[in-house]
Amino acid sequence: NNYHTQPRTNQFYFDNIPIPSLLTAVSKRQVECQMINLAHVILSIQMAVDSSSSGSRSSDHEFHIAPMQCYTMQPLRKLFHILSPSSMKWTEMEKLDDLYPKNHDCPEDYLNEALQKRLRSSEDYDEESYLTLQIGTNDPDRLGDCVQSALRNYNFREINMNCGCPSIESGGATKFGASLMKDAPLTGRLVESTRKALEQCEKLGNFAEGSRRPDVSVKCRIGTFDHYDDLRPLNEDDYKYLKRYVSTIQDAGGDHVILHSRPAILSGLSPIKNRKGGIVPLDYTFAERIAQDFPELRVTLNGGITSLDKLEEMRDDQNSRISSHMVGRWILRRPLDLLGVETLLHDDDEISRNCNDVNRRRHIYADRAEQAITEYTDHAVHMASARTSSKSRNKKGRGGSGNFTMADLALPLFLIVEQLREMHAFNHEVYDKDGSHYDNDGHFEKYPDENLKAKLLSYEDIDRLHVTIEESVERLTEFAGGGGKNKKKARAPYEGSSGSVNFKRLSSSFKGLVGTKVANKWKRNRSEL
User: Quick one: 493 exposed, middle or buried, by C-beta within 10 A (0-12, 13-18, 19+)?
Assistant: exposed
Q: Are residues 109 and 257 in the same domain?
A: yes
Question: Looking at residue 431, what is its pLDDT?
Answer: 58
Residue 376 lies in a domain: yes
Mean pLDDT of 377-394: 74
- Higher local confidence (pLDDT), 278 or 170: 278
Q: With CA atoms as reference, report the closest residue to 382 among 468, 317, 299, 476.
A: 476
Comparing 463 with 393, the larger pLDDT belongs to 463
Q: Note whether 116 and 39 are same-domain residues.
A: no
- Name the strand (E) or helix (H) holding 159: strand 158-163
The answer to the question of residue 1 being in a domain is no
64 phi and psi, to 5 degrees?
-110, 135
Let me know if residue 371 belongs to a domain. yes
225 three-state secondary structure = strand
CA distance 257 to 343: 25
DSSP letter string over 100-146? Answer: S-TT-S-HHHHHHHHHHHHT---TT---GGGEEEEEE-S-HHHHHHH
Residue that wins the pLDDT comparison between 102 and 311: 311
Is the pLDDT assigned to residue 205 strictly greater than 70? yes
Of residues 121 and 152, more confidently modeled: 152
Partner residues linked to 327 by β-bridges: 65
- Residue 421 CA to residue 424 CA, distance in Å, equals 5
Task: Please report which confidence band the pLDDT of residue 4 belongs to, taking 50, 70 and 90 as the band edges.
Answer: very low
Residue 192 has pLDDT above 90, yes or no: yes
pLDDT at 5 over 50: no
Domain that holds residue 26: 8-53
- What's the angle, vertex CA 298, arms to CA 31 and CA 186, rounded to 5? 105
Residues 364 and 498 in one domain: yes
Q: What pLDDT was estimated at residue 359?
A: 80
- 414 in the same domain as 501: yes
Q: Give yes or no for residue 152 having a pLDDT over 50.
A: yes
| pTM to 2 decimal places | 0.81
Share of the chain above pLDDT 70, in %: 72
**Do 363 and 334 reside in the same domain of the chain?**
no
Residue 77 lies in a domain: yes
205 CB neighbour count, 10 Å cutoff? 6
234: in domain: yes
Q: Which of 346, 366, 383 is the last residue of a domain?
A: 346
The residue that leads in pLDDT, 454 or 3, is: 454
The residue among 287, 218, 215, 291 whose CA lies nearest residue 249 is 218
105 CA to centre of own chain: 34
Q: Would you tell me how many other CB atoms lie within 10 Å of the CB of residue 456? A: 23
Q: For residues 75 and 63, give the distance between their C-alpha atoms in angstroms, rounded to a whole number.
A: 19
Residues 129 and 169 both lie in one domain = yes
The larger pLDDT score, comparing residue 291 to residue 227, is at 291
Maximum distance among all alpha carbons in the chain?
A: 80
Q: At what angle do helices 107-118 and 140-150 cross, to 10 degrees?
A: 60
**CA-to-CA dists, residue 325 to 19, 160, 223, 303, 464, angstroms:** 25, 16, 19, 9, 32
Per-residue confidence (pLDDT) for residue 248, from 0 to 100: 99
pLDDT band at 83 (very low <50, low <70, confident <90, very high): very high
pLDDT range class, residue 57, cuts 50, 70, 90: very low
Phi, psi angle pair for 369, to nearest 5°: -65, -45
Q: How far apart are CA 345 and CA 258, in angstroms?
A: 19
**Number of domains forming the structure of the chain:** 3
CA–CA distance, 342 with 86 (Å, rounded to integer): 7
CB 225 within 8 A of CB 269: no
User: Are 88 and 212 in the same domain?
Assistant: yes
Last residue of a domain, one of 283, 312, 346: 346
Q: Is the pLDDT of residue 102 over 70?
A: yes
Q: Is 461 inside a domain boundary?
A: yes
Distance CA 61, CA 311 (A): 11
> Considering the domain boundaries, does residue 3 fall inside one?
no
Return the ∠ at Cα 239 (arms to 233 and 243), rounded to 5°. Answer: 155
Whether residue 151 is found in the same domain as residue 279: yes
474: pLDDT strictly greater than 90: yes
Q: Is residue 492 part of a domain?
A: yes
Q: Are residues 152 and 273 in the same domain?
A: yes
CA dihedral over 181, 186, 189, 195, signed as positive or negative: negative
Confidence of residue 357 (pLDDT cuts 50, 70, 90): confident
pLDDT confidence band for 54 (50 / 70 / 90) = very low
- pLDDT the model gives residue 19: 54
**CA gap 158, 439 in Å, rounded:** 49
Indicate whether 113 and 91 sit together in one domain: yes
Give the model's pLDDT for residue 441: 45
Closest listed residue to residue 311, CA positions, set 469, 98, 144, 87: 87
- Statement: residue 134 has pLDDT above 80: yes
pLDDT of residue 321: 94
Residue 500 has pLDDT above 80, yes or no: no
Give residue 394's pLDDT: 44
Residues 127, 177, single domain; the answer is yes
- Region 459-479 average pLDDT: 91
One domain for residues 322 and 439:
no
Alpha helix (H) ranges present in 431-502? 440-444, 459-481
Report the alpha-carbon distance of residue 94 to residue 109 in Å, rounded. 17
Among 279, 312, 346, residue at a domain's last position = 346
